[in-house]
Chains A and B, each alone.
Chain A
Amino acid sequence: MEEKILFTVDTPYRPSLPVKGWFFGNPEKKSLAVMGALRGNEIQQMYVCARLVRALEAVEKAGLLAEDCGLLVVPCANQFSMNVGRRFWAADNTDINRMFPGYDAGETTQRIAARVFHALQGYQYGVQLASFYMPGDHLPHVRIMETGYQHAEEATAFGLPYILLRTPQSYDTTTLNYNWQIWSTQAFSLYTTSTDHIDEPAAATAVEAVLRFLSLKGFSRQMFPRLTTRPTLFRENQLHNILSTAGGLLLCRRKPGDPVEKGDVLCEILNPCTCEVLEQLRADCRGQVFFCHHTQLINGHEVAYRILPDEEKGFLFYD
């Protein structure tokens, strides 16, 4: 393992901020890179990377890394915002993950994105520990942009139960995941339930997923038990959005992973001053809760839940 400063960010009123990477294995090889927090609230994403650094250190010390394997883990590229409790770049509120592939003669976050991308480019595989723009919790899953360059079947090696294919929108074209793929890296986003708080079981799942991926791709000789369930591959638009119509206090009755029948109550929205039930949101199909809004206040016309219908499950190229 080698800890290196990838680049530093100089600021007028704070010490220079080093963005560090942890390298493992053969420094001449670029097998897999993992990116953690690009936003200041991505605590879980940074934590997963930190656990991965420790896990890979142990794997390397045990002599289980393949000789032609080179790995990089970047836990955090935005301590500038994280240390002051801000989600986006704290000086101008821009989002580094909307600046890729970056521009080294551009504005501040374009330059940071360019440096991050320079460090991450050229790897055969890329994993981003990603967060979602809506406040809520997901089932752990792998998300892949359909750029035309993707090989979704490769995602089965993570061993996670769900693989989501997203048709990129115009605003996705400046994300790390999209640009990684355009520049010949097989890119995957791992979603691990939470963002701004640590979920240890979900973090353990994510770390194991990356280690399993390395093993199945021949980059390590760690042994993992054979999976007994088939992953489900589906497109994002196959999820059923359950929208609120009322605003108020949100009391969730179901959580991600819960099976639901059509008509089951998912949550209640209460009058915040009287506790009168303004609305009960119900499942519109049989399936599994995939996403759950997690703030305690909800407005009208918000996506409160996303359900993965049972009929979408079970197709894949995995045995």
Chain B
Amino acid sequence: MVQEVVRLPLAVGEELAIRKNRLGEGGKRFCVVTGTHGDELEGQYVVWRLNRLLTEHPEWLCGTVDLYPALNPLGISTITRGIPLCDLDMNRTFPGSETGSMSEYIAAKLTEDLKGAAACVDIHASNIFLREIPQVRVNVNTASRLVPMAKRLNMDFIWVHAAATVLESTLAYNLNALDTPTLVVEMGVGMRLTRSYGDQLLNGLLSLMQSLGMWKGPVDPITDPLLGDDGNVSFLNASGPGIFVPCVGHAARVEKGQEVGIVADPLTGEIRETLKSPVSGLLFTLREYPVVYEGSLLARILELQA
């Protein structure tokens, strides 16, 4: 049943409504949220697939599933990453405030609606610049609780990252602080759907639900993810402007010293920079958008033992 979490009037003949679809009833509650950033669409396919499956097989569901396809409907509808009008990153507005501005009010209502779930999965899709393998990002302070759950999600990689004060305004941080275990998935690339990744995560969601005792239906075997932290992730950034032309594929295994790509100058025909991998490992992030500036992230590599 489609329900409204929050509805507010917009200026001219329209209302902003954030909706969820509730399937099943009673028991534990499992939430899947996506669309916080309006340019990240990978979660749309996943939520659609899960929605269809749960609708077709209600007999396999034990409990309640809430699906939130668009936390930032104005952003998605206008291909805008943040919240249009105020230009804020919605994932820096949590836990929000009932007495604050519209964005803070929405954040407060969403937090209120989501808290108390047995688990929540927040699906992101990198941005328009970078392509990511299916992965779960876990704050080191919540790793002991969340990594076992993250392993159920059928993702290729779990990245346990350092805590940062600025991340305390994310949805996941605040739900975890409210004792609502929340996993952040990053996969694919902005403004696109990667169907294979979506299918992979769908099976992971069912696996997680199964572990929570909420799913009696079939689940395909899940992958054993790589586990890494900031200490074994290397970054490749451009040292100057130009066009990035990769020479390896995304998710490739690379050797230390192997060429990853070049930064080229279309005006002069020069190669400004040749990028080489600083370690041997898995190239789990690869730049998708070719125009780069000094500092633009080109690739991330998870160091692996031979």
Instruction: Give the interface of A toward B (CB within 8 A).
Output: 9-13, 87-88, 91-93, 98, 105-111, 133-135, 169-171, 173-174, 241, 243, 245-249, 272-273, 297-303
The CA-CA distance from A299 to B17 in the complex, in Å, is 13
Distance (Å) between the CB of B42 and the closest chain A CB? Answer: 19
- B169/A169 in contact, CB under 8 A: yes
Instruction: Knowing A111-B295, A299-B9 are in contact, say whether A88-B102 is a contact too (CB < 8 A).
Output: no
Instruction: Knowing A12-B241, A12-B242 are in contact, say whether A272-B13 is a contact too (CB < 8 A).
Output: yes
Q: Chain B residue with minimal CB distance to A168? A: B165
- A93/B240 in contact, CB under 8 A: no
Distance (Å) between the CB of A118 and the closest chain B CB? Answer: 15
- A241/B100 in contact, CB under 8 A: yes
B85 at the interface (CB under 8 A from A): yes
The CA-CA distance from A74 to B166 in the complex, in Å, is 26
- B9/A246 in contact, CB under 8 A: yes
Q: Chain A residue with minimal CB distance to B238? A: A108
From A87, A174, A241, A299, contact of B99 by CB (8 A): A241
- B169/A299 in contact, CB under 8 A: no
Distance (Å) between the CB of B60 and the closest chain A CB? Answer: 40
- A10/B294 in contact, CB under 8 A: yes
B105 at the interface (CB under 8 A from A): yes
Instruction: Knowing A107-B295, A300-B8 are in contact, say whether A173-B166 is a contact too (CB < 8 A).
Output: yes
The CA-CA distance from A294 to B26 in the complex, in Å, is 47
A-B contact count (CB 8 A): 101
Distance (Å) between the CB of A272 and the closest chain B CB? Answer: 5
Number of interface residues of B (CB under 8 A): 40
B292 at the interface (CB under 8 A from A): yes
Give the chain A neighbours of B11 by CB distance below 8 A: 247-249, 272, 297-299
The CA-CA distance from A171 to B165 in the complex, in Å, is 8
- A108/B293 in contact, CB under 8 A: yes
Instruction: Knowing A12-B243, A173-B166, A303-B101 are in contact, say whether A93-B293 is a contact too (CB < 8 A).
Output: no
- A247/B166 in contact, CB under 8 A: no
Give the chain B neighbours of A9 by CB distance below 8 A: 293-294
Give the chain B neighbours of A249 by CB distance below 8 A: 11
- B237/A106 in contact, CB under 8 A: yes
Contact with A along B228-246 (1 / 0, CB 8 A): 0000000101001111000
Give the chain B neighbours of A302 by CB distance below 8 A: 101-102
Please, could you name 15 A-B residue pairs with CB atoms under 8 Å apart, sorted by A? A9-B294, A12-B291, A13-B291, A87-B87, A93-B81, A106-B295, A111-B294, A170-B166, A170-B168, A173-B166, A247-B11, A248-B9, A273-B13, A299-B16, A301-B8
B12 at the interface (CB under 8 A from A): yes
- A272/B12 in contact, CB under 8 A: yes
The CA-CA distance from A1 to B11 in the complex, in Å, is 49
Give the chain B neighbours of A174 by CB distance below 8 A: 166
B296 at the interface (CB under 8 A from A): yes
- B85/A299 in contact, CB under 8 A: yes
B271 at the interface (CB under 8 A from A): no
- A134/B13 in contact, CB under 8 A: no
Give the chain B neighbours of A13 by CB distance below 8 A: 291
Give the chain A neighbours of B237 by CB distance below 8 A: 105-107
Top 6 nearest A-B pairs by Cβ distance? A247-B9, A297-B11, A170-B168, A12-B241, A300-B9, A108-B295
B306 at the interface (CB under 8 A from A): no
- A134/B167 in contact, CB under 8 A: no
